[in-house]
Chains A and B, each alone.
Chain A
């Protein structure tokens, strides 16, 4: 509750600042529209924005699910095999050295202007944080658990399944929270490079036609959407982790 109040207060400060700039500088609408104008546009174009927002949300959700699944699988693979670690870790590190932006055009070329290239972008951008957070968790199983398991005559597989994976769930949770922040970025980059739907596409379109108010409205919706997604994932994970130990 306190966090929400703080957020609202910050938003209010920004709005006042924005409106003050409008009053002092009086820029033309296509440079910087006033907050009220953006709100008006948001209302009058709600159907259009809503439709594109749904597309983006769909891409982000799919990307989140698929990226998480791949991330979990990779982390388990890395944690259970030294060979996999030796082979995959440099590749993973290198993949992080390439900005996702650089891959967007080629993905669009390969996968088309449809939803697939955006989902893949979102998957790519969250794959590393999820993998890395969960993998770190898997490698940081408390030594005492491993000692205990050893005296109990456990197989490596059983230790992984019964101790290492459950003990790493909080770490996976941190990875998922990061993923919720990154996934919309991936999807929107994909939409910028080439799309016919989605908030990123709508922003470019509005910008190109000097409909700056529409662009601002789209950015606002994207921001709220991303924030909402993060808060949802964060609350869900926190709750699930708490319940797990009760």
Chain B
């Protein structure tokens, strides 16, 4: 893994968002906050090189000029685990899809780090929602890519589990360029090292609290940032 790569998205999608520039600084967690349907996921898919079903007039560039898609790992709200495969087979999916030999030792090690050492042989159906998302996190880590795109991966989890996984993800993904798409102001205030709010009016950059992320949930500065983000989302700020 390299120390992350900077990314710039510049352009527009007619009827979705006006001309905007989104910059992801290398090795940082950038949060893209916005209400549903505003085009957050579309932006993420454009960076990932996935079919976005829109006409994008613009460019997605890495600051080193090399193509991005092979350097990206992707994690979505749905853990996208294969119900027929064991946890271990799920986290080594990437290697098998590329015809490589899966690094089972690394897979077991990472599963242990997310607290799932004893679940390697189980099928995803036997796991809770939080555990499934941990498996998805390990699968993302197994890809070992400098850029990680997270499309609301924690939004279906309960508050406690969400907070735990946020911390775990920040720890394990440290040093990578991370884009977290979320509709949750609390999440953005907690983990964002850069925060952008996307509304139909365009992209607005918001200064995150100057404490290191992940910030404590009850930190006054974080709560204040969360409130300010809320107001922006509701268009009352």
Output the nearest chain B residue to A144 by Cβ-Cβ distance.
Answer: B80
Determine whether the beta carbon of A158 is less than 8 Å from that of B96: yes
> Is residue A46 contacting chain B, with contact meaning CB distance below 8 A?
no
Determine whether the beta carbon of A147 is less than 8 Å from that of B84: no
| Interface residue stretch chosen among B8-16, B66-74, B169-177 | B66-74
With a cutoff of 8 Å between Cβ atoms, the chain A residues found around residue B45 in the complex are 147
With a cutoff of 8 Å between Cβ atoms, the chain A residues found around residue B96 in the complex are 158, 162
With A147-B74, A151-B72 in contact, do A245 and B84 touch (Cβ < 8 Å)? yes
Chain A interface bracket (under 10, 10 to 19, 20 to 34, 35 or more): 20 to 34
Q: Mark B59-96, 1 if CB is under 8 A from A, else 0.
A: 00000000001101110101010111100000001101
In the assembled complex, the CB of A104 is this many whole angstroms from the nearest CB of chain B, namely 40
Output the nearest chain A residue to B82 by Cβ-Cβ distance.
Answer: A166
With a cutoff of 8 Å between Cβ atoms, the chain B residues found around residue A152 in the complex are 93-94, 97-98, 143
Residue from the set B45, B51, B93, B149 with the largest chain A CB neighbour count within 10 Å = B93
Interface of B is mostly: mixed
With a cutoff of 8 Å between Cβ atoms, the chain B residues found around residue A169 in the complex are 84
> Is residue B162 contacting chain A, with contact meaning CB distance below 8 A?
no
Determine whether the beta carbon of A155 is less than 8 Å from that of B84: no
> Is residue B99 contacting chain A, with contact meaning CB distance below 8 A?
yes
Determine whether the beta carbon of B123 is less than 8 Å from that of A154: no
In the assembled complex, the CB of A157 is this many whole angstroms from the nearest CB of chain B, namely 9
Q: Mark B140-154, 1 if CB is under 8 A from A, else 0.
A: 000100000100000
With A144-B80, A151-B69, A151-B72 in contact, do A159 and B123 touch (Cβ < 8 Å)? no
In the assembled complex, the CB of A147 is this many whole angstroms from the nearest CB of chain B, namely 5
Interface residues of A (CB under 8 A from B): 142, 144-145, 147-155, 158-159, 162-163, 166-167, 169, 244-246
A-B contacts besides A142-B80, A158-B96, 6 pairs, CB < 8 Å: A145-B80, A147-B74, A150-B49, A153-B94, A162-B93, A246-B126
